[in-house]
Amino acid sequence: MISLKNPSQIAKMRDAGKILYEVEQQVREAVKPGVTTMDLDVLAEQLIRKNHAIPSEKGYEGYPCSICASINDEVVHGIPSDTRVLKEGDILTVDCTLLLDGWQSDSAFTVGVGQISDEAAKLIRVTEECFWLGVRQAIVGNRLGDIGHAIEKHARENGFQPIREFTGHGIGREMHEDPSVFNFGEPGRGLRLRRGMTIAVEPMIAAGDWHLQIDEDGWCARTVDHSLTSHYEHTIAITEAGYPEILTLPGFDWNKVEDV
């Protein structure tokens, strides 16, 4: 079932998104060689709670931490650990969800640790471009397939593959609501977008083959071929006219964006 949000509900999701943005900015600044993924988890949890929000990943289906910290070939659900030390050349995805006053917000980014390879930098850049190309399709009257197609096309044109086993999703009072937002698809197919839909758009892109395996911890998903992966996510609201509001980028203004 798809729940549409009214303007006052979207305002609450905007408040949650602002906090998540600020938390993630600080976590991003803490990323450097020698830091452990548990250091980042502790920092994120402290910042979330200081802002009177709740780290909603912690305890979600038994997940033990406040962020997912996925390195290199790890796509999603890397469990933070004090034995996972970031090293120069790694690429790290931080994916965090928080709850403020009953409303969820979800965002992820991938960042290089120190100097990274040209291929890794291209993968991060193309994944963010996939997000923006997808989000430009998130307008009233378009369909979910338009978003997925835009993401898939740009990934493939750059020699990369979208992950198929994890998707974006509706979000609101729950972290994961209907519909699933696939990172591939056909234009003009799928659910029609309506004002008041709030969704997490989250391209996950592999430099190699998209097939995944799950680690023995039951959580961490990585590419079978161990190719690098990148992930970029924001929570957005479909608006009456024009491009969507990016709830996890406070103050973002489409009028100030150059065309991709």
Residues that bind ligand MF3 (CB under 6 A): 57, 60-61, 63, 68, 77, 95, 97, 106, 200, 202, 233
Binding mask 233-252 for Co ion (x = CB under 5 A): x-------------------
Structure tokens at 87: 């090293």
| In the complex, least distance from residue 47 CB atom to ligand MF3, rounded to whole angstroms | 16
Please tell me the distance from the alpha carbon of residue 226 to that of residue 252, in angstroms, as a whole number. Answer: 35
Query: Which of the choices ligand MF3, Co ion, none does residue 149 contact, using the CB cut-off of 5 to 8 A by kind?
Result: none
Q: Of 210 and 219, which CB lies nearer to ligand MF3 in the complex structure?
A: 219
Sequential DSSP letters for 43-109: HHHHHHHHTT-EETTTTGGG--SSEEEEETTEEE-PPP-TT-B--TT-EEEEEEEEEETTEEEEEEE
Asked if residue 95 binds Co ion (CB under 5 A), the reply is yes
Query: Which of the choices Co ion, ligand MF3, none does residue 207 contact, using the CB cut-off of 5 to 8 A by kind?
Result: none
Contact window for Co ion (CB under 5 A) among 48-56, 108-116, 126-134, 154-162: 108-116
Beta strands in 88-206 (DSSP E): 91-100, 103-112, 161-162, 168-170, 177-181, 198-201, 204-206
Closest residue to bound Co ion by CB: 200
Asked if residue 24 binds Co ion (CB under 5 A), the reply is no
Structure letter (DSSP) for residue 192: B
